[in-house]
Amino acid sequence: MNPENTVSVIITAHDRKKYLKDAINSILGQSLKNEFQVEIIVVKNFQDPDIDAFLSSNSIKTMFTDEKSFGVKLAIGMENASGSFICFMDDDDMFHPEKLSRIYSLFMSDPDLAYIHNGIYTISEDSKYSSLDGIDLHESRITIYDLSIKSVISKPGKITSSRADWYVSCISMRKEVAERYSPQIRKIERSLDKALFMASVDYGRKIGVLEIPLTYYRKHQSVTGIVGSVDQFLSSRVKFTDESIENLEKLSTLVKSANPNYAIFHQILIGKMLANNIIYSRGRKGSIGFSLKMLYLFFSKGCKECFYISVILLIHFLSPNSSISMYMKIQNRGMN
């Protein structure tokens, strides 16, 4: 297998077995071109005779770990990937038949393109790869942000507002980025999508945001988190966000970036998370002050999303229950 024309797909699975075969079949069923090869790596914490036989029969590289940490699993996959390009995938998601060929072509067309985030399409819990109709893909509609250009990094909010930091199964990167940051990724347990994004920011090359939906996101109870009462759901969101903030702060300590742009992006991501917790906690305290901070990030850093959050925080001060549903719509935007 020649690394220069190989795309490695890293699938992580912890306990859950139900969807793994469909995830893998969506990769085996790719519309592949002759100029590149595909390597599938599954990092999992379980053994299963049926699944293991399926993996072996399809020559899939399998890594076993008892570690619960998502970051450890990703790092294991990154460190064992042979390809020059890496795509990440959760075990319950699937890829559009043309995803890998599109990603490969984009990376090959620009040697400075270090990171690509593609669009997403929501599917039901019972969807099977064999029953999915491929979404009609037209032009690529990709926006390239060159982090070496001052005019681009002066308005980093444009990039974060595009959701380039969201959802691991939508993320692809060059192997050299993964190699450089896998030691730090290994120590992160929450919000690995944002950690991978921040690694690419620190790398300082180009980030591509591809609008077309190349990832199928499976919506089911274990990922939506809507279990029990509304209060329990909101409490779980606050807890998750607190842990995510803690992990992003840890990442910044581990990276020790000399890139001044890193701090700006970090400020925006942490700011949005703190606003998230004000809204989900239903408390009015701090909502006005944080609304002004979000407004500042909108005007100074070009973060359109921060403008919406600022307005929602003002509404939150008047009616906490009304703001929650509005904020959920912002969080779920871009999902077809």
What domains lie within the chain, and their CATH numbers? 3-222 (3.90.550.10), 225-331 (no CATH)
Comparing CA positions, the residue from 199, 209, 201, 196 lying closest to residue 164 is 209
How many angstroms separate the most distant Cα atoms in the chain? Answer: 60
Comparing CA positions, the residue from 247, 333, 242 lying closest to residue 281 is 242
- Name residue, tokens 């970090």: 266
E strands in the chain: 6-13, 37-44, 61-64, 85-90, 94-95, 113-123, 142-146, 171-174, 206-218
The 10s digit of each residue's pLDDT in 185-235 is: 999 998 999 999 999 999 999 999 998 899 999 887 655 444 456 777 788
**Rounded Cα–Cα distance for residues 31 and 246 (Å):** 40
The 10s digit of each residue's pLDDT in 239-263 is: 989 999 999 999 999 987 777 788 8
Tokens of 118: 């593609």
Please say if the pLDDT value at position 76 is more than 70: yes
Q: What share of the chain is helix, strand, coil (3-state, %, to 5)?
A: 50, 20, 30
Chain mean pLDDT for the chain: 88
The 10s digit of each residue's pLDDT in 140-167 is: 688 999 998 888 878 888 899 888 999 9
Instruction: Give the number of other Cβ atoms within 10 Å of residue 318's Cβ.
Output: 10
The 10s digit of each residue's pLDDT in 93-152 is: 999 999 999 999 999 999 999 999 999 998 888 888 777 766 777 666 889 999 988 888
Tokens of 318: 């008047």
What was the pLDDT predicted at 332? Answer: 64
Q: Which 3 state secondary structure label does DSSP give 54?
A: helix
Look at the pTM and tell me if it is higher than 0.85: yes
Please say if the pLDDT value at position 16 is more than 50: yes
The 10s digit of each residue's pLDDT in 86-97 is: 999 999 999 999
